[in-house]
A and B are shown apart, each in its own frame.
Chain A
C-alpha cells in the first residue's frame, strides 16, 4: 500500500498529475527520437543553442498577447525556424560549419529578443517561459503538444532513411539524391518543434534535457539505431513518470525533478550499460576465438 500511495495514488487522485503524465509521455514520444539523431549527428549542443533561439520568439509572443499559448508557441516556432533555416543555409552554401553558423544566428536572435523586450520597457515575468509548468497543463496545451508530436513522428518517418544515410555517409547521399539538404532542414525544424513542445512543460532551459539525456542513456544499451530510439523513448517516459512522483512527494519543482531522474538513469547507464559501460569494461566477458 505504501508503494501504491507513493507511485500510483498521485495520479489516480489528482487530475493535474494525470495531465502532466500524459504530457511527458507525449513529449518523450516525439523528443527522444529527435534527441537520438541530435546525438548521432554530434549536434547535442545544437539543441541547447536552439533552445536559446526560441526564447526571444516566445517572449515577443508573450509581449504581444500575454500568457497566450498560441502566441508564445508561434513566436517560438518562428524564431527557432528562422535561426535553424538561416544557419543551415549558411552552413551548406559557405565554408562556415553548422555549429559556428548556428552560434552566430542564435546569439543574434537572443540579442534581438532582449532588445525588443527592453524597448517596450515592460517588466515581464518570464519564469513561465524559462522553466515551464508541467503541472499546469490545460487541454489546449496538451493538444498542441500532442499535435506537434504527431507531426514529428510523421515527418521523421518520411525523412528517416536520408537522415540515417546523411549521418553515416553524407557524400554518398549527395551523389545519389538531393534529399540530403531538405531532410536536414526538416530535421532542424523538428528540433525546433520539439523544443517549443518541451518549453511548455519544462521551459526553454530544460526542454532539451528530455531529448538529449535519454539519447545519451540509449547509447549505453544498444548498438542499433532502432534499439536506441526505443530505449530513449522508454527512458524519457520513465524519467517523466518518476520525476513527477519525486516532485509530488518532495515538492521539488517538476521540470528539474524530471531532468534529475533522467540524469540519475544516465549515471546508472554510464556505469552499468552493456555497451561500453564503465563497470562492464572493468569486468569484460572472455574474448571469443574468432
Chain B
C-alpha cells in the first residue's frame, strides 16, 4: 500500500535538544499503528511534528495528504474548560472543514453531530457546558469531534489515559471502525495487552526507533528492555550531533 507518511531521518525536539532522534520509516495508507515507549520517549513530540505544530530540527516528514486531513487528539488537550460553550457546539467545531468561517450548521450537520454524540454515548449531553464533563466524558466528546472531522489520518496521543475500562472499550470500537474504513490511525499507548490485542503494527520509540513492524515482532522482552534503557535527561553540555553533520554534509 502507498506510503501516506514518510519520516526522513527526522529529528524533533525543543531548544536544540532532540526528543525524537533521527527517525526514518513510513506509514502505509490505512495502517493501524501503536506508538509505544516509556515516558519521554518522544511519542507526543513525534505527533506534534506530524501534525505540523512542531518544526523538525533536522530531516523531514513527508505527508501524502493535506495537513487539514489529519485529525489530532493531543494527550492533554489544551482546552479551556471554563469557556462557555456547549458539548454540541464544541463537537460541531469538528465540521470546520465543511463549514469554515461562515458555513451554517444546517439540518444535516446537526444530524451528523447528534450521530457522533450517539456513537460515543453522549446523547443527552448536548446542552451541557464542557466544564461540567468528567474526564471520561471529555474524552468521549473529543472522540466525537474526531469522528466529525472525517479525516484520512487520525492521530491519538494516549487516548485511554485515566479512562475506565468501559470507556476505553467503547472508544476502541471507534478506532477499529476507523481502521475498517481504511483510515490511517496512529495511537500512542502504554497498555501492551491492548496493543497486542488490537494493533497489528507497532513502533517502539525511545527517542530513536527501537523497532518498527508487526506487533508480535516489536513487543519482545529484549526490545522493551532496550527501550527502558533510554536516557530521559537533557544534557546541557551535550555536543552537537555528529550524525546531523554527516547528513548535512552528504546533502
A positions within 8 Å CB-CB of B? 40, 158-159, 161-162, 164-165, 167-172, 174-177, 179, 222-225, 228
Contacts and interface: CB of A to CB of B under 8 A. Distances in A.
Question: What does DSSP make chain A's interface, helix, strand, loop or mixed?
Answer: helix
Contacts of A161: 99-102
A168 B90 contact: yes
A179 B80 contact: no
Contacts of B96: 165, 176-177
Nearest to A218: B84
Contacts of A179: 101
Interface stretch (B71-79, B158-166, B240-248): B71-79
Nearest to B149: A176
Interface in B93-132: 93, 96-97, 99-102, 129-130
A175 B52 contact: yes
Interface of B: 51-53, 67-68, 70-72, 74, 77-80, 83-86, 90, 93, 96-97, 99-102, 129-130, 145, 149
27 contacts: A40-B83, A40-B84, A159-B101, A161-B102, A162-B101, A164-B85, A165-B96, A167-B83, A168-B90, A169-B80, A169-B90, A169-B93, A171-B53, A171-B74, A171-B77, A171-B78, A172-B77, A172-B145, A174-B53, A175-B68, A176-B68, A176-B149, A177-B96, A179-B101, A223-B84, A225-B83, A225-B85
B93 A165 contact: yes
B79 A175 contact: no
Contacts of A223: 84, 129
B83 A172 contact: no
4 nearest interchain CB pairs? A168-B83, A171-B78, A176-B96, A175-B72
Nearest to A164: B85
A225 B53 contact: no
A176 B67 CA distance: 8
Q: Which of B86, B93, B149 has the most CB of A within 10 A?
A: B93
A236 B85 CA distance: 23
Given A168-B79, A169-B77, A170-B78, A228 B101 contact: no
Given A161-B101, A169-B93, A223-B129, A175 B53 contact: yes
Contacts of B102: 161
A175 B84 contact: no
Contacts of A169: 77-80, 90, 93
A170 B80 CA distance: 9
Given A171-B77, A171-B78, 18 more contacts: A40-B83, A158-B101, A159-B101, A161-B101, A165-B93, A168-B79, A168-B85, A168-B90, A168-B93, A169-B78, A169-B80, A169-B93, A175-B53, A176-B68, A176-B149, A177-B68, A224-B86, A225-B83
